[in-house]
Chains A and B, each alone.
Chain A
Amino acid sequence: MMLKKRNWLVALLAGLMSISFVLSGCGGSDSSSSSTSTSGSATATGSAAEKLDPIEISFFITDPGQAPTPDNKIYKKIKEELGVSINWEFLVGDKNQKIGVLIAGGEYPDVITMSSDIISKFVGAGALVPLEDIIDKSAPNLKKHYEPYKNKVKDVTDGHFYVMPDYGVYYNDFSINVNEGPAFFIQKAVLKDAGYPKVKTLDQYFDLIEKYKAKNPTIDGQPTIGFEVLSEGWRDFCLKNPPQHLIGHPNDGGVVVDSETNTAEFFWDKDYAKRYYKKLNEINAKGLLDPESFTMNYDQYMAKLSSGRVLGMFDQHWNFSNAELTLKTQKKDERTYAPLPLVFDEGIQDYYMDRPVLNVNTGYAITKSAKDPERIIKFFDALLTEKWQKILGWGIEGEDYMVDDQGMYYMTPEQRVNYNDQTWRLGNMAHTLWYYAPKMEGTFEDGNATSPGGQPKEYFDALSDYDKEFLKAYGYDQQSDFFSPAPENRISYPAWQIDLVDGSPASLANTKVGDIATKYLPKAILAKPDKFDSVWEEYVNQLHKEDIQAYIDRINEQLAWRAENWK
Chain B
Amino acid sequence: MANNGTALAENKLQSKKLTGHKLTWNTIVKQKQLIFMSVPMLIYILIFSYVPIWGWLMAFQNYKPAKGFFEQKWVGLQNFKYLFKDENFIRDFRNTICMSFINLILSYVTAIILALLLNEIKNVFFKRTVQTVSYLPHFLSWVIVTGIVATSLSTEGGIVNILFMKLGIIDSPINWLSEGKYFWGIVGATNVWKELGWNTIIYLGAITAIDPALYEAAGLDGAGRFRKMWHVTLPGIKATFVVLLIMSIGHVMEAGFEIQYLLGKGPVLDWSETIDIYVIKYGINQFNYSLATAAGIFKSVIAIIMLFIANNVAKRLGEERLI
Contacts and interface: CB of A to CB of B under 8 A. Distances in A.
Contacts of A222: 156
A526 B177 CA distance: 13
Nearest to A295: B177
Contact of A521 (B148, B177, B266, B286): B266
Interface string B262-296: 10011111100000000011101111110000000
B312 interface: no
Nearest to B282: A511
B167 to A, nearest CB: 13
Interface in A116-141: 121, 124-127
Contacts of B147: 15, 18-19
A1 B130 contact: yes
A292 B281 CA distance: 24
A121 B286 contact: no
A543 B291 CA distance: 23
Given A521-B266, A522-B266, A15 B144 contact: yes
A515 B284 CA distance: 16
- The secondary-structure label for the interface of chain B is helix
B57 interface: no
A294 B266 contact: yes
B242 interface: no
Interface stretch (A6-14, A41-49, A63-71, A488-496): A6-14
B281 to A, nearest CB: 7
A519 interface: yes
A106 B205 CA distance: 50
B152 interface: yes
A300 interface: yes
B170 to A, nearest CB: 14
Given A15-B144, A100-B284, A508-B286, A519 B269 contact: yes
B177 A96 contact: no
Given A127-B66, A508-B282, A100 B265 contact: no
Interface residues of B, number: 38
Contacts of A300: 150
Contact of B65 (A5, A100, A295, A515): A100
A279 interface: no
Contacts of B193: 8
A15 B159 CA distance: 12
Interface in B56-75: 64-66
Contacts of A106: 66
B200 to A, nearest CB: 13
Nearest to A7: B159
A525 B4 CA distance: 79
B155 interface: yes
B266 A11 contact: no
A232 B265 contact: yes
A292 B287 contact: no
B173 to A, nearest CB: 8
B288 A12 contact: no
A97 interface: yes
Interface residues of A, number: 48
A502 B265 contact: no
B29 interface: no
Nearest to A117: B285
A447 interface: no
A72 interface: no
A407 interface: no
B248 interface: no
Contact of A295 (B66, B152, B267, B285): B267
Contact of A8 (B133, B155, B289): B133
B287 to A, nearest CB: 4
A432 interface: no
Contacts of A422: none
A519 B148 contact: no
A295 B156 CA distance: 13
A11 B284 contact: no
B11 interface: no
A232 B267 CA distance: 11
A15 B266 contact: no
A316 interface: no
A294 B265 contact: yes
A295 B265 contact: yes
Contact of A19 (B144, B175, B262, B285): B144
A519 B144 contact: no
Contacts of A7: 159
B319 to A, nearest CB: 33
A470 B152 CA distance: 39
Nearest to B117: A1
A462 B68 CA distance: 57
Contacts of B151: 11, 14-15, 18
B178 interface: yes
Contacts of B134: 4
A12 B64 contact: no
Contacts of B281: 511
Interface in B183-242: 193
B276 to A, nearest CB: 13
B286 A502 contact: yes
A502 B288 contact: yes
Given A15-B147, A511-B286, A104 B65 contact: yes
A236 to B, nearest CB: 8
A26 B133 CA distance: 32
A56 to B, nearest CB: 25
Contacts of A103: 65-66
B266 A519 contact: yes
A523 interface: yes
Nearest to A5: B133
A497 interface: no
A503 interface: yes
Contacts of B152: 11, 14
B287 A502 contact: yes
Contacts of A96: 284-285, 287
A297 interface: yes
B154 interface: yes
Nearest to B137: A8
Contact of B269 (A125, A297, A518): A518
A1 to B, nearest CB: 6
Contacts of B148: 11-12, 14-15
B265 A126 contact: no
Max chain A C-beta neighbours (<10 A), residue from B152, B266, B270, B287: B266
Contacts of B137: 8
Contact of A522 (B64, B178, B282, B286): B178
A223 to B, nearest CB: 7
A223 B156 contact: yes
A507 interface: yes
A295 B287 contact: no
Given A19-B147, A125-B65, A518-B266, A295 B282 contact: no
The 4 A-B residue pairs with the shortest CB-CB distance, nearest first, are A125-B66, A518-B266, A502-B287, A295-B177
20 contacts: A8-B137, A8-B193, A12-B148, A15-B148, A18-B151, A19-B147, A94-B280, A96-B287, A100-B284, A103-B66, A125-B66, A222-B156, A291-B175, A294-B178, A295-B175, A295-B265, A296-B150, A296-B265, A508-B286, A511-B285
